[in-house]
């Protein structure tokens, strides 16, 4: 069976540079503005294609080592190309953030942007690792997105997927059960509320401050969102449908998002919270 370009993109998580422009590009300056004035070791968790590390290397002449921990081999390869000019100041490592291995260095700056929901329900393992790994008095900067949820725990991207599945003939009312049967936990359910996160974080870390802003996703076409979804969520949702329908699924996701854009002036609109944390001692 021949796979479409968007199916291949979903399987490799390729094209993230364009996808991050829609949702995360504005996070970089916002996050790094809260970093220490002259960090020496920066570890980015879920570092993707290295955009935040590149911004950090450009922003902080003091930075001796930029460490990227990322699970996707494809994204690590792209990050290696992007960060090649920085030579041995960069260390990239394939890592499972649900059970990260110890680092030989102790970062005084750790970041993680728009990743935490993928670690549900064992986020505490990562927070414990940060508390054990970060240099005393270091800074951990974490961003979390918080879409509204319905009574089934669906919200944000889940709503767009629900509309796409309905367009493919699924009964809209039965979509929550369909996700559960396919072992796909809604992204909005994966994202804990702020109080739940606060309780988890304070077990291992001390909260210095928090800030919020609105994250708005807008697109210029159905195709643009189709590729955004593939690069951001991979095959997380598309595996719900039979292989012959997967190309149609991605197309339906793009069309559902484009309808929202035309009706509302945006595809999604949700708060993103920036947590600034440090060690407890």
Bridge partner list, 207:
277
- At 161-185, the pLDDT tens digits run 999 999 999 999 999 999 999 999 9
Q: Quote the distance between the C-alpha of residue 147 and its chain's center.
A: 14
pTM score: 0.90
How far lies 80's CA from each of 10, 54, 66, 83, 230, in Å? Answer: 20, 11, 12, 5, 22
Q: Could you tell me the pLDDT band of residue 2, with boundaries at 50, 70 and 90?
A: very low
- At 56-73, the pLDDT tens digits run 999 999 999 999 999 999
- At 183-204, the pLDDT tens digits run 999 999 999 999 999 999 999 9
- At 114-133, the pLDDT tens digits run 999 999 999 999 999 999 99
Residues ≥6 apart with Cβ < 8 Å to 154: 162, 175, 176, 179, 186, 188, 189
State the pLDDT at residue 26.
62
Q: Percent of the chain, pLDDT > 70?
A: 91
Is the confidence at residue 3, as pLDDT, over 70? no
């Amino acid at each position: 069976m021949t796979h479409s370009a968007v199916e291949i993109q979903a399987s490799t998580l390729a094209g993230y540079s364009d996808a991050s422009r829609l949702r995360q590009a504005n996070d970089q300056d916002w996050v790094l503005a809260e970093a220490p004035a002259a960090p020496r070791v920066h570890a980015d968790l879920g570092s993707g294609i290295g955009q935040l590390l590149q911004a950090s290397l450009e922003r902080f002449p003091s930075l001796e080592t930029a460490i990227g921990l990322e699970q996707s081999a494809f994204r690590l390869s792209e990050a290696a190309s992007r960060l090649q000019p920085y030579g041995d100041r960069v260390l990239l490592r394939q890592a499972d953030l649900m059970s990260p291995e110890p680092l030989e260095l102790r970062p005084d700056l750790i970041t993680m942007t728009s990743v935490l929901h993928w670690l549900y329900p064992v986020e505490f393992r990562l927070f414990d690792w940060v508390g054990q790994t970060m240099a005393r008095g270091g800074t951990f900067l974490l961003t979390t997105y918080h879409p509204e949820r319905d009574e089934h725990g669906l919200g944000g991207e889940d709503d767009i997927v629900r509309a796409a599945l309905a367009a493919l003939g699924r009964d809209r009312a039965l979509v929550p059960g369909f996700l559960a049967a396919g072992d796909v936990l809604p992204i909005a359910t994966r994202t804990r509320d702020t109080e739940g996160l606060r309780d988890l974080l304070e077990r291992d870390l001390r909260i210095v401050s928090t800030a919020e802003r609105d994250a708005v996703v807008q697109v210029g076409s159905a195709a643009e969102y189709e590729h955004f979804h593939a690069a951001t969520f991979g095959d997380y949702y598309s595996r719900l449908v039979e292989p012959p329908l997967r190309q149609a699924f991605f197309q339906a996701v793009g069309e559902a998002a484009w309808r929202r854009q035309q009706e509302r002036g945006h595809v999604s609109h949700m708060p993103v919270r920036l947590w600034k944390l440090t060690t407890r001692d």
